[in-house]
Amino acid sequence: MTLLFLILVSRIYYVQVVQGAEWYERAKERWSANEELVAKRGTITDRNGNMLAMDTYAYNVAVDPKLIHELDIADEVIEGLSDILGMSEEAMRTHVTAKKENGEYVSQREVRNGGWQIDKQVADQIEEFRNGLEKENKVSNVGIYMYDQLKRFYPRYETASQLVGYIDKDGNAMTGVEAFFNEQLSGKNGHITYEKDGKRVQLAEGEVDYQPAEDGQDVKLTIDGDIQNYVEEALKEIVKEYAPKSATAIAADPNTMEILAMANMPEYDPNVYWKNNAGSYNHAVKSLYEPGSTFKIVTLAAAVQEGLFNPNEMYKSGSISIPGVPRAIRDIKREGWGTISFLEGLKYSSNVAFVKLGYERLGEEKFKEYISQFGFGQKTGIQLGGELSGRINLRYPLEVANATFGQGVSVTPIQQVAAVAAVANGGKLLQPQIVKEFIDPVTKTTTKVEPKVIRQVISEETSRKVGEYLEQVVSDQEIGTGKNAYIEGYRVAGKTGTAQKVVGTGYATDKFVVSFIGYAPVENPKIVVYIVVDEPNDPLVGGGKVAAPAFKQIVLKSLRKMGVAPSYKTDEAAGKAEVSVAVPNVTEMSLSQAKSELKVKGMTSEQVGNGNTVIQQIPPADSIVHPTQRVYLITEQRDKLTIPDLTGVSLRDALEITSLIGIRLIPEGQGYVVSQTEETMNNVKVLKVVLAPPEEAAVQAATAEENAGAGTADETATEGGESQNAASEGESKPEDSGGSAESAVQQQ
């Protein structure tokens, strides 16, 4: 008995003392619970706060094959779930009949392919189906389970999808903003550890270790949702008519290089990225193109800066020889246009003119220096993954000569936009920006992203001159290759481009990249747009026919949306009239619907009254007005109305509005309202307005706004075309969209 007692005491001592710490830790694990607190991923919005990416709840489906077969309902489960989830019955059967190695049915099987991250609507159908089975079989569990979790949702679907990027089913950030700013968006998961009793109820005085989750930062992009829609609509029209391999467009503010829109076709829906993942490729930063004649803007700017461009100087067009090169470089029109001025050479997109300017006058070293200064051959620094730096490898005289008109160099669309923005904004090369600001939900702070100047490339005076020259490429409706980009009422600068595609060691004769790049208004640029179309189905069309009309559509809508007043510089001799638009019928619509309808048309509106439904509109439906004309939405009866701001309104509409309100109008001058004053005469309230002609009204409106705030023969011989033609003088080249037969497409 003594021996047994000693053994027992020794054992107790060993367990209690020697192994005490180990057993205590094991016990602590039994009575403690640990839960991970998942951080919410930050949202992505456009510059106006419209949601582009957000977290939402999704549901995952799992089944219990063992229980399902015990209840003998396998066929019902297979048929019901496959129908709801859109899966084949064979695929569902593999889940419902899943077994262990010993032949027994497993007790849980996740329905990964088809039943993972399903929407609530589908989850509700499964719950209804499950409840029906439980009621039919008089049991509380039929082996169908659903678990909720957060998933990434893109409420705008295809809109800006290549820019925003996507998150895969495993939560990995794959492309776009989602991937580049993954660290900021992700946040940090937290945890809570506490002690519990046998029923898993937290002990009141137990130890608690709590680390809260830190939600990810919200990212507000520079993208403008409306301009993004304008760009995507224009690209869809190009795809519909020309069925290209791809089409890409970028719109930016040249003064800050904030990207206002970036789109690619084909597109994809990031919510179901696996259905068309190839569409997630962002050509704007990841693809290289020979730019063709749009690159002539670089040569022109360099020549003007060095004092080598005299627009009135004459030269012989047609062909030019390079020392040591057996074949001449030719214009797209092989015989040329005779002896013409350099300004005419720009309008015609003459290769010979630019070889003279870039190769002969600037010289190899100076020309290559300007190419580098404009940012080519190096990454722009845009905050997107996969950006390429391009290829600028000019070793021989012929390569340098060809580069003066855009052949033999490869650039990205974003490089083109940054370079032309520098020409537009006074000569400053800026880093492209896609993020407006970061919002930290933890610290409640906002970090704004400021414009970043890389270098001054050309002077402000050179910028102004180049803008005026490029404006004539668009405004000259006789010989300008960019005439299809002309916008009545606005000064537009631009350049077309048509480039042969490189195939192997040479150039294809039937595959082209066509493009257009430009900005407006010339006197105070607000937007620069570049459109590049890869392999349109018609080898005879150029940038002037394919891309220029799309440019016009995008820029006109964008300028209206921005409220930019027209320049009113029109060529009366050519019979051009100011641009006009028909007012849509929004009467009897809800106020929000009416505003949305007008916004789509690029028109501004002002609510008159405090109602929610439009009972009258001024101007009336189908009125033909200038696009800057404000549409007044009357939402209340006459006796409840107040006097709205009539600035910019025609006298006729001002009279109609004041008549509706019941106040006498006293006008002074003619044209459009530039100011208004409310007075009392003979105990009667009157409204005095000062009117001015359109040109003066535009100037005064612009001044007030500032105070308130404080190819056609396109070009290149098809990209290399010309010189390529030079390489084989017997070949024929397609003309630019603005030339000969194809120039038949005129402005309305």
Q: What is the CA radius of gyration of the chain?
A: 34
Rounded CA separation 473/543 (Å): 13
pLDDT for residue 701: 52
Rounded CA separation 545/714 (Å): 10
Rounded CA separation 164/176 (Å): 5
Q: Is residue 13 part of a domain?
A: no
Distance of CA 80 to the CA centre of its chain: 42
Establish how many alpha carbons lie within 13 A of residue 265's alpha carbon, considering only the half-sphere containing its beta carbon: 23
Structure tokens that stand for 725 in this block: 């033609």
Q: Do 490 and 538 lie in a common domain? A: yes
Pairing of strands 329-330, 339-341: unpaired
User: Once rounded to an integer, what is the mean pLDDT over residues 156-161?
Assistant: 92
CATH number for position 347: 3.40.710.10
Distance of CA 520 to the CA centre of its chain: 19
Among the three residues 128, 155, 182, which one is the final residue of a domain in this structure? 155
* pLDDT tens digit sequence for 557-572: 899 888 888 875 444 4
Q: Do 566 and 642 lie in a common domain? A: no
Cβ proximity of 253 and 527 under 8 Å: yes
Q: Give the type of residue at 553.
A: Q
Q: Do 87 and 236 lie in a common domain? A: no
Q: In this model, does residue 720 exceed pLDDT 70?
A: no
Q: Do 101 and 123 lie in a common domain? A: yes
Domain that holds residue 676: 604-708
Q: Is residue 82 part of a domain?
A: yes
User: Once rounded to an integer, what is the mean pLDDT over residues 303-325?
Assistant: 93
Q: Is residue 18 part of a domain?
A: no
> Is the bond preceding 266 in cis, omega lying within 30 degrees of 0?
yes
Q: Do 624 and 728 lie in a common domain? A: no
* pLDDT tens digit sequence for 278-311: 889 999 999 999 999 999 999 999 999 999 999 9
| E runs forming strands in 559-717 | 581-582, 605-608, 616-618, 624-625, 631-634, 664-668, 672-681, 684-692
Q: Do 266 and 298 lie in a common domain? A: yes
Rounded CA separation 364/48 (Å): 46
Q: How far is CA 75 from CA 64, 72, 97, 341, in A?
A: 14, 8, 10, 83
User: Once rounded to an integer, what is the mean pLDDT over residues 188-192?
Assistant: 81
Res. 409 pLDDT band, cuts 50 70 90? very high
Establish how many alpha carbons lie within 13 A of residue 287's alpha carbon, considering only the half-sphere containing its beta carbon: 19
Q: Is residue 598 part of a domain?
A: no
pLDDT for residue 697: 53
421: CB partners within 8 A, 6+ apart: 252, 254, 257, 430, 519, 528
> Is the bond preceding 584 in cis, omega lying within 30 degrees of 0?
no
Return the percentage of the chain with pLDDT > 70, whole number.
87
pLDDT for residue 154: 92
Based on the structure, what is the number of domains in the chain?
Answer: 3
Q: Do 568 and 497 lie in a common domain? A: yes
Q: Quick check: helix, strand or coil at residue 631?
A: strand
Q: In this model, does residue 718 exceed pLDDT 50?
A: no
Q: How far is CA 16 from CA 3, 11, 32, in A?
A: 20, 8, 21
Q: What residue has token string 């190769």?
A: 359
Q: Do 556 and 634 lie in a common domain? A: no
DSSP class of 90: H
Q: DSSP string spanning 458-509? A: S-HHHHHHHHHHHHHHHH-TTT-TTGGG--TTS--EEEEEEEEEEETTEEEE
Whether the full predicted model's pTM is greater than 0.75, yes or no, is no
204: CB partners within 8 A, 6+ apart: none
| E runs forming strands in 245-386 | 246-253, 258-265, 314-316, 319-320, 329-330, 339-341
Q: Is residue 391 part of a domain?
A: yes
Element (H, E) at 6: helix 2-13
Among the three residues 94, 127, 155, which one is the final residue of a domain in this structure? 155
User: Once rounded to an integer, what is the mean pLDDT over residues 61-85?
Assistant: 91
Q: DSSP string spanning 519-581? A: EE-TTS--EEEEEEEE--S-TT--HHHHTHHHHHHHHHHHHHHHTPPP-----GGGT-----E
Q: Do 691 and 733 lie in a common domain? A: no
Among the three residues 122, 155, 188, which one is the final residue of a domain in this structure? 155
Distance of CA 306 to the CA centre of its chain: 36
Starting at the edge strand that comes first in sequence, how are the strands of the sheet with 258-265 ordered? Answer: 258-265, 246-253, 527-534, 506-520, 493-503
Structure tokens that stand for 79 in this block: 């048929």
Rounded CA separation 166/31 (Å): 41
Q: What residue has token string 């308130």?
A: 708
Q: Do 362 and 309 lie in a common domain? A: yes
Q: Quick check: helix, strand or coil at residue 742?
A: helix
Q: Is residue 72 part of a domain?
A: yes
Strand-pair partners of 676: 689
pLDDT for residue 407: 92
Most confident of 155-164, 253-262, 500-509, 663-672: 253-262
Q: Do 626 and 559 lie in a common domain? A: no
pLDDT for residue 386: 93
Q: In this model, does residue 702 exceed pLDDT 60?
A: no
CATH number for position 105: 3.90.1310.10
pLDDT for residue 698: 53
Enumerate the active-site residues: 293
Q: Is residue 390 part of a domain?
A: yes
Res. 56 pLDDT band, cuts 50 70 90? confident
Q: Give the type of residue at 678.
A: E
Structure tokens that stand for 160 in this block: 């800006």
Q: Do 684 and 736 lie in a common domain? A: no
Q: Is residue 176 part of a domain?
A: no
Cβ proximity of 420 and 467 under 8 Å: no
Q: Quick check: helix, strand or coil at residue 164?
A: helix
Cβ proximity of 353 and 338 under 8 Å: no
CA 733, 542, 515, 243 torsion: positive or negative?
negative
Q: In this model, does residue 422 exceed pLDDT 90?
A: yes
